Amino acid sequence: MISVGIWIVYPAIRTFARSFFDRSGTDFVWFDNYRTVFTSSTLLTAIKNNAIWVGVVPALVTSIGLVLAVLTERVRFAVAFRIAIFMPMAISLFAAGVIWRIEYDQAPERGAINAVIAGVHDAIVPPGALPSALPSTTALAGSPRQGFVLRTPTEPGELALLGLTGILPQDVARSAKQATLPQPQPGAIAGVAWRDFRPGGGTSGVVEREELGLPGLTVELRDRAGRKVGTTSTGANGTFRFPKLESGEYEVAIGAASFRQPFGGLSWLGPKLITPAVIAAYTWIWAGFALVIIAAGLAAIPRDLLDAARTDGATEWQVFRRITVPLLAPVLTVVFVTMLINVLKVFDIILAVAPDSVQADANVIALAMWRASFGGVNDFGLGSAIAVVLFLMVVPILALNVRRFRREL
C-alpha cells in the first residue's frame, strides 16, 4: 500500500491538482488548460487521431489474430509460424518504429515497401529510355511531358533528324553506339535520334563522330490530322524506319512515353499517410500477441462440438461463425480490451516512425502530453490537463475490464 501510494496515488492526485495551474505552477487558472486541450488545433488533431486508433486498431489486431490462429491450427509448422509472427513483440516499440521508418523510405532503392511497389509498377508501366531531354535545334518542338515533334512534315523517301541535348552521360543507355544516318528509301521514312552533343564542340543538328544514338526511344508517325499511324523504337545507333508508306506528308515525333519517369515511391511518411503507416507498423507488432492468446483459447475448445457440427453438414464457414467465434468470445474480449488500453497509451512508435515535420499530423494524446511537459515547451499545467483527459478516457475501459474479471471469478 505504501508503494502504491507513493508511485500511483500521490502522482495521480498531484497531476490533477497541477492541471489547474499555469505553466510556472504559481497562478491558479481554473479550467484554462482544459479549454486549451479542446480548442488547440494540435491537440484536436491528437484527439482525432486517437479516435482513429481506437476505432481501427483493436478490431484489426483481434481480427488478424483470430484468422491466423484458425488458419495455422491445421498446418504442421504452426509453432514455427506463430513464433515468427510473435517475434516483433520481443523488441521495443521504438526499435520496431526505427525498422518501419526505414521500410517506409520513399526512395525505392532504400525503402523495401516502395521497392516492391516499384517492381510491380515498372513491370506494368515501364519507365522511359530517358529521364529528360531538350531539343538541340528549333526543328523540334515540344517537351518531355508532351513529347517532341518535327515542325516540318516529312514525306516518304526523306530522313527525320531528331537531335536531343541536355542529357547527362549516365542517362544514356550502355548499349548506345555511334549515331549513324540511315539510307533513305522510297516509300519509307527513316531517321535517327541521337545525343546531339560532341565534346569539344560541334554543329547542332548534324550527326558527327563521338555522338551517340539514343536506343529505346518510342518514335511515332502521325498523319496530317495528328492521328497515330505507326510506332517503332530506335536501335542501338538511334536509327528507326517506317516502311511501306503511302505518299503524303507525315509528322515524326518522339512519344512522351520515352521520358516516362520510373516509380518514385509513395510518401508513406507524408502528412496524408503517416497515421495509417504507423497503425500498420503497430499492427505488425501486436498481431503476434493476439495470435498466441487466441490460439491458446482455440486449443481449449472441445473438439467434439466442432466435429458434431461438421457431421451435421455445417460448412467450415458456418463452424467458424456459429461455434468457434462464440466460444472464443471471452478470449477475443481480452485481446480487444487489452488493445483498447494500449492504443490510448501509444507513444514511442509514433515518435520513432513519424519525422519531425509530420509529427503534428500523427500526434496522439500521450505524445501531446509528453511534448507539452517535456518536449521543450515545459508547460506542466497543460501537460497535466492532457494526462487527466487521457486518464478519464481509460477509466471506462479499466472499469469494464475489472467487471469482466469479477464476473469470470
Length of the chain: 409
DSSP 169: G
pLDDT tens-digit readout, 358-406? 888 998 988 888 888 887 778 899 889 989 988 888 888 878 777 877 7
Domain boundaries for CATH 1.10.3720.10 within the chain: 2-117+268-408
- Angstrom distances, CA of residue 336 to CA of 59, 252, 258, 299, 333: 7, 64, 52, 19, 5
- Which residues sit opposite 149 in a β-bridge? 141, 253
What cell does 237 get?
A: 545507333
Residues 349-364 as b or e (16 or more Cβ within 10 Å = b)? bbbbbbeeebbbbbbb
Please give the class, per CATH, of domain 134-259.
mainly beta
Maximum alpha-carbon separation in the chain: 103
Kindly write down the DSSP assignment for every residue of 288-309, as one continuous string: HHHHHHHHHHHHTS-HHHHHHH
CATH 1.10.3720.10 fits 2-117+268-408, yes or no: yes
- pLDDT for 52 equals 93
CA–CA gap between residue 345 and residue 328 (Å, rounded)? 26
Q: What is the pTM of this model?
A: 0.78
- pLDDT for 264 equals 86
Q: Which residues of the chain have pLDDT under 70?
A: 408-409
CA–CA gap between residue 325 and residue 179 (Å, rounded)? 71
pLDDT tens-digit readout, 159-181? 999 999 999 989 999 999 999 99
- pLDDT for 157 equals 92
- pLDDT for 409 equals 65
**Would you say 65 and 293 are in contact if contact means Cβ atoms under 8 Å apart?**
yes
pLDDT tens-digit readout, 146-162? 999 999 999 999 999 99
Please report where in the chains the cell 484527439 appears, as a residue: 47
**Would you say 18 and 380 are in contact if contact means Cβ atoms under 8 Å apart?**
yes
- pLDDT for 151 equals 92
Domain boundaries for CATH 2.60.40 within the chain: 134-259
